[in-house]
Amino acid sequence: MLAWTWFILKHWVLLWIVGTLIYLALATLMSQFYLYHKHPTPRTVNIYMRREGLHTDMILPIEPDRQMWFDLLGWDDLRNDEFKWIEVAMISRVWTCKRNSLYSLLFWFAGSSFMEVKLYKELPQETDKRKLYVRKVSRQQVDILLQKYRECFVLQQDKAIETHEPPLEHEFQKFYLSTCYYHMFMNCNTWTNEMMQGMQIPAPIFTIWPGSVVKAFTTPPLFDDDFV
């Protein structure tokens, strides 16, 4: 019985390793193929991408959408005009809560996530680990992004539901329940890439890699030199 159990376990581990390698190879290959769009113009709004390690997300100016953000998040600090920038990210619930479990190793099983929101008075400073990239987009693209963000929050009477489960690491940071699920086909970079696709920014068909997301974000639009 023990020998049979070991035989099954050994082959399952081998299958997991081979499957992971095939998945990573396909994800890398698909990162090279882009969905292209003709960008809406004029582009007058600067948005930023933050890359920190393996993570990417975007930072937007709060104005002129301050009231929209306040209505959605119910965050009193949003009434303070000193805050100029808002950062929104999709974060794995397992990693955020720092749970040590088998689930955190077998990352490709579906698990819930949080929406992480941070407010800034000034753009965060770049460090060896944190890099910022800028892109000029149209107001229409920003409106699309805001709608896609809104769809990622669990709403109750049109209000995002705040959670106090994860530990806070930033003075002006909050976590909200998310409609997104974190799994092998959806990590923070995949999510950021989908936000870019929705905004009609040329982006990979699919990717899990931060480098691919940054490359797409910093690639100039086709047939147009209106790019920062």
Q: Name the CA radius of gyration of the chain, rounded.
A: 19
Bridge partners of 15?
none
Average pLDDT over residues 166-180: 86
In a domain, 24, yes or no: no
Report yes or no on 72 lying in a domain.
yes
Residues 196 and 217: beta-carbon distance below 8 Å: yes
Task: Let me know if residue 206 belongs to a domain.
Answer: yes
Please tell me the distance from the alpha carbon of residue 96 to that of residue 101, in angstroms, as a whole number.
Answer: 13
The reply to whether 4 falls in a domain is no
The answer to whether residue 9 sits within a structural domain is no
Residue 200 lies in a domain: yes
- Among the listed ranges 24-28, 106-110, 164-168, 186-190, which one has the minimum average pLDDT value? 106-110
Total number of residues shown for the chain: 228
What distances in angstroms separate CA 171 from CA 128, 167, 202, one per listed residue? Answer: 21, 11, 34
The average pLDDT across 62-82 equals 94
Q: Could you tell me the pTM of the whole model?
A: 0.86
The token pair at 34 is 């882009």
Which pLDDT value is given to residue 136? 92
Residue 209: inside a domain, yes or no?
Answer: yes
In a domain, 111, yes or no: yes
* Interatomic CA distance for residues 73 and 154, integer angstroms: 11
Whether the pLDDT of residue 204 is over 90: the answer is yes
When divided into structural domains, the chain yields a total of 1
Structural domain that includes position 117: 31-217
Q: Which two tokens stand for residue 77?
A: 């600090």
CB-side neighbour CA atoms (13 Å) of 217: 27
Structure-model confidence comparison of residues 15 and 149, the more confident one = 149
Q: State pLDDT tens for residues 3-57.
A: 777 767 777 888 878 887 888 888 889 898 888 766 667 889 999 999 999 899 9
Q: What is the mean pLDDT of the chain?
A: 85
Q: How confident is the model at residue 110 (pLDDT cuts 50, 70, 90)?
A: low
Q: Which amino acid is at 68?
A: M
